[in-house]
């Protein structure tokens, strides 16, 4: 083999072709990686985009202005429906015959008379006067105003008939319809009528559930982590506990729901649909997460801290409570918040223990029937009305806002207290 031959081999056609191929493969591989990351990012954008675009309109709600005459006799008979209807007919003078008026009745939310009743009960001196009030419009009027029900569709395929659309046009013409911020969404419980449905009941239910979860899983989780990391002897028994915790972390959440159903509801006879049971199940579910995160945080505290404390005569427990735990606390807190965020978004176990009921009232205690935000999303997603689709997306946005808040807090804590040894 002479040098010249070798050299020519490196400069040969085949060699440079091979090199081009290899570089092309390199480029392709790199592009494949970029495409993969791109797909993931694209899906995130599409997911969030579709939810925001479907949901942002739910924060507005159409209202109709009425000049209600609070006739004394009608108020005493609690005939608010008649009061509201008379006021509405007065707004649309063109509607004179019975059939038209009947279809006008559907323009208002079925909750409008109750709104009025609540107003009168709060201020009885209004009786006998004429008041200008804005009441919620029916969800279909709302959807029409937002442009989701189109007037160029043939009448038979439209949710609103021509009579109603004419009435709406009349209301729009005299400025009796407006779009306001949808406060009901934040202040009401669930309802069959989209315009009266709100997320507050579910938010309170979620909060109660999370409180139970936190009160149970945080102390137990930290205690278990401290024991396993600081005190436990290394033997088969503690190995078993460790394997066990790792496995529990990967058990499907619905299995925890079955456990809750069989043990807490079936065996202990706790009430169905209660945040107490939901919290118990969630606590068992988040426990492994908290234990694992706390152990990582405890492990990160250098042994020199422990040795120094033991060296000046602290007992093992004092070493842990006075020195190791405070140093590990930011890490533990971060793990805890992330575990709580996961519990907040969890749905399946709550379905099993009956937190999926239709509940109008806002729960007042741990044993009241309640639902949670993700379950509310699940239930609204099943409703056929277009207005509920919009509210489902809005509920998702609210849930995501809570999650971003919690995760943001966790990131902030990590950044602020992170310590490199």
- Which of 213/347 has CB closer to another protein? 347
CB of 113 to another protein, least distance (A): 26
Q: Is 337 in the site for another protein (CB under 8 A)?
A: no
Look up residue 202 and give its two tokens: 């579910």
* Residue from 379, 380, 354 nearest 368 by CA: 354
Stretch that binds another protein, among 36-44, 61-69, 90-98, 184-192 (CB under 8 A): 36-44
Give residues 358-397 in contact with another protein (rule: CB under 8 A): 374-375, 377-378, 381, 389, 392-393, 396
* Residue from 14, 54, 128 nearest 390 by CA: 54
CB of 243 to another protein, least distance (A): 7
The phi, psi pair for 64, rounded to 5°, reads: -120, 135
Stretch that binds another protein, among 10-18, 173-181, 326-334, 352-360 (CB under 8 A): 352-360
Give residues 273-312 in contact with another protein (rule: CB under 8 A): 284, 287-288, 291
Q: Is 262 in the site for another protein (CB under 8 A)?
A: yes
**Which residue(s) pair with 108 in the sheet?**
137
- Which of 179/407 has CB closer to another protein? 407
Compose the 45-74 pattern: x for residues touching another protein by CB under 8 A, - for all others. Answer: -xx--xx--x--------------------
CB of 144 to another protein, least distance (A): 21
Look up residue 312 and give its two tokens: 């000046």
Stretch that binds another protein, among 67-75, 144-152, 153-161, 260-268 (CB under 8 A): 260-268
Residues 19-55: b if buried by 16+ CB within 10 A, e if exposed: eeeeeeeeeeeeeeeeeeeeeeeeeeeeeeeebeebb
Q: Please state, in angstroms and as integers, the Cα–Cα distance from residue 272 to each residue in 48, 57, 268, 284, 345, following that order.
A: 34, 35, 11, 18, 20
Distance CA 125, CA 34 (A): 70
Q: Is 270 in the site for another protein (CB under 8 A)?
A: yes
- Which of 80/264 has CB closer to another protein? 264
Distance CA 265, CA 359 (A): 19
Distance CA 181, CA 51 (A): 19
Q: 17, 215, 251, 308: which one contacts another protein (CB under 8 A)?
A: 251
Look up residue 384 and give its two tokens: 């056929």
Give residues 220-249 in contact with another protein (rule: CB under 8 A): 220-221, 223-224, 226-228, 231-232, 240-241, 243-248
Q: 356, 409, 413, 414: which one contacts another protein (CB under 8 A)?
A: 356
CB of 120 to another protein, least distance (A): 30
CB of 171 to another protein, least distance (A): 31
Stretch that binds another protein, among 69-77, 139-147, 205-213, 350-358 (CB under 8 A): 350-358
How far separated are the first and last CA of the chain, in Å rounded? 58
Give residues 194-223 in contact with another protein (rule: CB under 8 A): 219-221, 223
**Which residue(s) pair with 136 in the sheet?**
63
Neighbouring C-alpha atoms within 13 Å toward the C-beta of 358: 7
């Amino acid at each position: 083999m002479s040098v010249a031959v070798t050299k020519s081999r490196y400069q040969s056609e085949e060699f440079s072709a091979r090199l081009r191929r290899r570089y092309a493969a390199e480029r392709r591989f790199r592009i494949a990686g970029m495409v993969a990351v791109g797909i993931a990012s694209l899906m995130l954008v599409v997911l969030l985009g579709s939810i925001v675009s479907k949901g942002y309109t739910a924060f507005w709600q159409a209202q109709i202005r009425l000049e209600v005459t609070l006739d004394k006799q009608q108020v005493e008979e609690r005939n608010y429906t008649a009061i509201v209807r008379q006021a509405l007919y007065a707004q649309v003078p063109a509607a004179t015959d019975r059939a038209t008026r009947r279809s006008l009745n559907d323009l208002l939310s079925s909750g409008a008379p109750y709104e009025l009743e609540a107003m009168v009960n709060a201020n009885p001196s209004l009786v006998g006067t004429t008041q200008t009030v804005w009441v919620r419009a029916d969800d279909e009027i709302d959807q029409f105003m937002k442009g989701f029900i189109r007037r160029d569709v043939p009448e038979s395929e439209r949710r609103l008939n021509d009579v109603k659309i004419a009435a709406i046009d009349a209301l729009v013409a005299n400025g009796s319809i407006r779009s306001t911020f949808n406060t009901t969404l934040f202040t009401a419980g669930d309802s069959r009528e989209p315009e009266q449905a709100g997320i507050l009941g579910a938010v309170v239910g979620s909060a109660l559930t999370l409180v139970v979860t936190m009160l149970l899983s945080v102390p137990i989780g930290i205690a278990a982590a401290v024991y396993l990391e600081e005190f436990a002897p290394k033997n088969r028994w503690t190995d078993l506990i460790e394997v066990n915790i790792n496995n529990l972390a990967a058990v499907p959440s619905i299995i925890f729901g079955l456990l809750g159903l069989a043990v807490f509801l079936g065996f202990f006879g706790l009430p169905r649909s209660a945040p107490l049971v939901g919290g118990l199940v969630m606590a068992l579910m988040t426990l492994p997460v908290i234990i694992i995160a706390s152990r990582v945080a405890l492990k990160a505290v250098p042994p020199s801290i422990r040795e120094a404390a033991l060296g000046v005569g602290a007992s093992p427990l004092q070493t842990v409570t006075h020195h190791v735990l405070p140093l590990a606390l930011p890490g533990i807190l971060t793990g805890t918040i992330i575990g709580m965020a996961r519990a907040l978004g969890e749905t399946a176990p709550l379905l099993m223990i009956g937190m999926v009921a239709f509940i109008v009232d806002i729960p007042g205690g741990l044993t009241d029937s309640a639902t949670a935000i993700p379950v509310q999303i699940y239930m609204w997603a099943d409703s056929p009305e277009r207005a509920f689709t919009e509210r489902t997306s809005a509920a998702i946005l609210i849930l995501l806002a809570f999650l971003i808040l919690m995760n943001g807090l966790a990131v902030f804590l990590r950044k602020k207290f992170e310590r490199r040894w």
